[in-house]
């Protein structure tokens, strides 16, 4: 996907919650609220209370792990709206290998994973990352409208 504005590295901004993150650290929080480090972590502010967070690890020029997450700022913290991820070597609970299982999206409601939907079949991780970014861009409004409806948010962005 081609971003309409460049992604800026996130270095000193709290990530996913309001904990203090040391300068230079790149952390995100997994489903069980344990920190996971990424080689690179980017965030892109969108209109209103929205941002996209992208984390990735690269080895030998190949994407080895990634996270693409839409977040909504509400009540002083960032809530996960939807998440795409790939981690072939994580724990049994958190590993998702797009090269074997295909790309999926986790849809969140009330701070918990509500449902998982499969997007496309197996593909290399770098291509799956591009596919996740494209799928998010194509469905952004729908995801935000559903999140706002679920959380009884009635304001225009």
- pLDDT computed for residue 142 by the predictor: 97
Q: Which helix (H) or strand (E) holds 108?
A: strand 103-109
98-156 tens-digit pLDDT: 999 999 999 999 999 999 999 999 999 999 999 999 999 999 999 999 999 999 997 65
Domain locations in the chain as residue ranges = 8-150
Q: How confident is the model at residue 19 (pLDDT cuts 50, 70, 90)?
A: very low
Cβ neighbours of residue 92 under 8 Å, at least 6 residues apart? none
Cβ neighbours of residue 75 under 8 Å, at least 6 residues apart? none
- pLDDT computed for residue 88 by the predictor: 85
To the question of pTM greater than 0.85 for the whole model, the response is no
* Strand order through the sheet with 112-120: 8-9, 40-45, 50-59, 62-74, 77-87, 103-109, 112-120
Q: Which residue has the higher pLDDT, 69 or 3?
A: 69
Cβ neighbours of residue 4 under 8 Å, at least 6 residues apart? none
30-66 tens-digit pLDDT: 454 333 689 999 999 999 999 999 999 999 999 999 9
- pLDDT computed for residue 91 by the predictor: 63
- pLDDT computed for residue 92 by the predictor: 61
C-alpha–C-alpha distance, residues 54 and 50, integer Å: 14
């Amino acid at each position: 996907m081609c971003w309409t504005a460049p992604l800026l590295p996130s270095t000193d901004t709290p990530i996913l919650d309001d904990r203090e993150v040391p300068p230079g650290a790149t952390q995100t929080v997994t489903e069980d609220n344990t920190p996971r480090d990424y080689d690179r972590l980017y965030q892109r502010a969108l209109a209103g209370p929205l941002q996209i967070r992208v984390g990735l690890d690269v080895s030998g020029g190949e994407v080895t792990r990634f996270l693409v997450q839409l977040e909504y700022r509400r009540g002083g913290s960032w809530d996960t709206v939807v998440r795409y991820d790939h981690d072939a070597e994580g724990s049994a609970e958190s590993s998702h290998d797009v090269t074997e299982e295909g790309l999926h999206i986790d849809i969140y409601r009330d701070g918990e994973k509500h449902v998982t939907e499969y997007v496309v079949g197996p593909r290399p991780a770098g291509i799956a990352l591009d596919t996740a970014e494209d799928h998010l861009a194509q469905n952004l409004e729908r995801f935000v409208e559903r999140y706002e409806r679920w959380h009884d948010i009635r304001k225009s962005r």
